Structure 1
Amino acid sequence: MRPVIGYVGADVPVELITAAGAVPMRLAGRPGADRTLGEKYLGRGLDPAVRSLLSRLLAGEFGRLDGLVVSRDCEASLRLFYALRELRRVEPAVVLPPLHLVDVLHLPHRTTTRYVLAKVRQLRATLESWTGSVITDPALAEAITAHDRLRALLGEMAALRRRGRLSGTRALSIVARTTALPVVQAIELVESVLDEDHAPVPGRRVFLTGSGHDSPEVYEMLEEAGLLIVGEDHDWGDLLWHRRVGAPTELALAERYQHNGPSAPRASIRARAAHTAAAARECGAEALIAYAREHDDAPPWDYPAQREATGLPSVLLERQPYGGLTAEARTAIKELS
């Protein structure tokens, strides 16, 4: 049986996990589930998605993991790593996999590239020790090619959304499934979706910005209200696939993750606004929704510049519950739709 390596955050170079002969599984929370275990160690002042993820991990819901890679994509992920590392140290009765932190920086400098390349090489060595398999250059090249193929197919699926032939809810669910499958099976899944007949999907075309969505509940609520999510700029959606590696080398892999984004926690307000405006235009969006989960403080800072840059009718939904909408947000959505 192939080893399973869990990972948290889109800054983890999953190609290395595949090249090690393991299955990469992106971990996520679950809205509505009990978060008591996670809050015991993280408190209640952190993004509830991460508190839910830790609760699920401690409850054994992800099954047996042969390792866990956490990226420093945001403050919540970093605090999760520190909590897990301390738990392994002081509570040996708690069964946790070995841990590794990946710190990918996103500055546009060659010195940053060298730093990220060093982190990629550290992860490569860690995965070899966990799996007992040497990651050869040919294996890495094959993994890069396969994951780039998957990203290209997800881009084709995104084109279906832009043509109004696929709902945002279904697209998000499919993307999430690809993050917990071997890459070959993920490719087959997306190919099967692309082979379907796709009827037009009704709804006012909206672009979604702000917090990431690791489950479809919010998308379902928005689309049930008469909207159609044709694009987004979080890393469970379009930011996950839009940049490819391009060359089958370790350096190209480092550059892909260095330059991926721009995400709300790691990019400047100007960069976010420019990206959102360009992506919304490409999607043919008619409105902009900024969704900010409670204890996710970055998106509201981005919103004024995004609203100005897009020039679209827009609404900011602040301090939203994980996987849900407040009554005030539902009212605002009705006015927008």
Structure 2
Amino acid sequence: MRTALAALEEAYARRGAPPAASKARTGGRTAVVGYVGADMPVELLTAAGVRAFRLTGDPGSGSALGDRYLGRGVDPVARSVLARLLAGSFGELDRIVVSRDCEASLRLFYALRELCRVEPGSGLPEAYLVDILHLPHRTTARYNRRRIGEFAARLEAWTGRPLDLAGAVAAHDVRRRLLAAAAELRRAVPARLTGRQFLAVANAVLPVDEHVALLERLLVEADQLPEHAGRRVFLSGSDHDTPHVYEAIESEGLVIVGEDHSFGGPFVNEPVGAGGLDALAERYHHGGPTAHRGTAGERAARAAAAVRHCGAELFVAYCRAGDEAPAWDFPAQRAALDIPAVLLEHQDYGRADLAALRKEHPCPT
């Protein structure tokens, strides 16, 4: 029988494709929804019973089609996602849902909406924006609650049935708890998971119930996992929707034991619990100080606490060309840390120029 880690890695290799239809569902076609952005209230997608998956780019396939509509100044991940949508790489989608987690996601939504309007033959489905804001104000909280409610109502209209919100929230709370436990495996000394393996564990393309079952098995099998020695790294900065940069960094004899981007461990581990849409809106209002919406001071304090928690020995800030916001935080982060810090700036999508890293950490021979 294959291990849980092998099954999770196999499911991660299917990123950019919808999860299989639930075995429990019978009759009719299940709607397929692709989504973009870290602020997506995924509990609502699960509650609607759709097959939902996060759209990812592909550094190796080019982005010419996306560049045509977004321009080359936009984060290349958004351009790649648009190019793949226009090429039909994600299969048949019924809807696309975009969260406003950063400017690139918002630009992608506007491009999708306009393409549907002026080029109906493009084959793109309807795009919908979930506009969650993060200002620390009561008016922002009310705004977010309205947007969450509108999205819930739209999902009910799309599927023609009421949402099972309580069941979905409970399932995602369990998954968050198990992912937090899995993250502790690579914080062990020595680590029991590499950073690349944790990406697979966290982003396996599976229905929530199947993901939970494999995470439970992974924790049961933890004692059988090999140990991974190497200098321990905390990775900050741009999102990583593919494993390429993790693989490049860990090939230098390093082990990534923590990160602060949205494809890594969850920013907030506390359960949503009861409270319905109000509790869900509250969670996404306070989703954590990402590079695109947190202050430099908040990001620095968060980085220092996370570095201590995972026992990192080296801090690496990776900033992709077209995604400059993370680099603005680096001086404050470096000042808050008591370990060496390296900035990898203006990096090509899916690649890592490690010259600056090698000065701090020469590759072992």
| TM-score for both structures, normalised by structure 1 | 0.94
Provide the secondary structure at the position in 2 that maps to 1:40.
helix
- The one-letter code matched in structure 2 to 1:255 is E
**Is the aligned partner of 1:199 residue 2:232?**
no
Instruction: Please show how residues 58-73 of structure 1 align to structure 2 within 5 Å.
Output: 58-73=86-101
Match of 1:145 in 2: 170
Match of 1:300 in 2: 327
Match of 1:5 in 2: 33
Question: Within 2, Cα distance between the matches of 1:213 and 1:291?
Answer: 10
Structure 2 unaligned residues grouped into runs of 5+? 1-28
Which of 257, 263, 269 is 1:230 aligned to? 257
Deviations 1:256-301 (CA, angstroms, capped at 9, x unpaired): 1010111111111111111111111100111100000001111111
- The one-letter code matched in structure 1 to 2:124 is L
Are the equivalent residues in 2 in contact too, given 1:66–1:130 (CA < 8 A)?
no
Instruction: Please show how residues 164-179 of structure 1 align to structure 2 within 5 Å.
Output: 164-177=191-204
Question: Within 2, Cα distance between the matches of 1:153 and 1:241?
Answer: 13
Match of 2:347 in 1: 320
Deviations 1:141-161 (CA, angstroms, capped at 9, x unpaired): 110010011011100100001
Question: Within 1, Cα distance between the matches of 2:208 and 2:94?
Answer: 18
Match of 1:271 in 2: 298
Deviations 1:164-190 (CA, angstroms, capped at 9, x unpaired): 11100010122121xx32211121232
- The one-letter code matched in structure 1 to 2:116 is R
Provide the secondary structure at the position in 2 that maps to 1:6.
strand
- The one-letter code matched in structure 2 to 1:317 is L
Are the equivalent residues in 2 in contact too, given 1:72–1:102 (CA < 8 A)?
yes
Deviations 1:9-58 (CA, angstroms, capped at 9, x unpaired): 11010111111111221111012112111111111111111111111111
Identity %: 54
How far is the alpha carbon of 1:191 from its aligned partner? Answer: 2.1
**CA 76–327 in structure 1, closer or farther in 2 if over 3 Å, else same:** same
Provide the secondary structure at the position in 2 that maps to 1:292.
strand
Question: Within 2, Cα distance between the matches of 1:241 and 1:56?
Answer: 31
- The one-letter code matched in structure 2 to 1:104 is I
- The one-letter code matched in structure 1 to 2:153 is A
How far is the alpha carbon of 1:243 from its aligned partner? Answer: 4.5
Question: Within 2, Cα distance between the matches of 1:52 and 1:133?
Answer: 34
Question: Within 2, Cα distance between the matches of 1:327 and 1:282?
Answer: 25
| TM-score for both structures, normalised by structure 2 | 0.87
Question: Within 2, Cα distance between the matches of 1:125 and 1:288?
Answer: 43
**Is the aligned partner of 1:242 residue 2:242?**
no
Question: Within 1, Cα distance between the matches of 2:209 and 2:275?
Answer: 17
Question: Within 2, Cα distance between the matches of 1:127 and 1:41?
Answer: 28
Equivalent residue pairs, number: 332
Instruction: Please show how residues 45-124 of structure 1 align to structure 2 within 5 Å.
Output: 45-124=73-152
- The one-letter code matched in structure 2 to 1:151 is R
Question: Within 2, Cα distance between the matches of 1:62 and 1:162?
Answer: 34
Deviations 1:115-164 (CA, angstroms, capped at 9, x unpaired): 111010111111112222222xxx10110010011011100100001001
How far is the alpha carbon of 1:107 from its aligned partner? Answer: 2.0
Which of 196, 204, 208 is 1:183 aligned to? 208
How far is the alpha carbon of 1:330 from its aligned partner? Answer: 5.7
**CA 95–240 in structure 1, closer or farther in 2 if over 3 Å, else same:** farther
Question: Within 2, Cα distance between the matches of 1:332 and 1:116?
Answer: 45
Match of 2:3 in 1: none
Are the equivalent residues in 2 in contact too, given 1:289–1:317 (CA < 8 A)?
yes
How far is the alpha carbon of 1:106 from its aligned partner? Answer: 1.3
How far is the alpha carbon of 1:200 from its aligned partner? Answer: 1.2
How far is the alpha carbon of 1:314 from its aligned partner? Answer: 0.9
Match of 1:216 in 2: 243
How far is the alpha carbon of 1:335 from its aligned partner? Answer: 3.7
**CA 81–123 in structure 1, closer or farther in 2 if over 3 Å, else same:** same
- The one-letter code matched in structure 1 to 2:149 is R
- The one-letter code matched in structure 2 to 1:125 is A
**CA 55–332 in structure 1, closer or farther in 2 if over 3 Å, else same:** farther
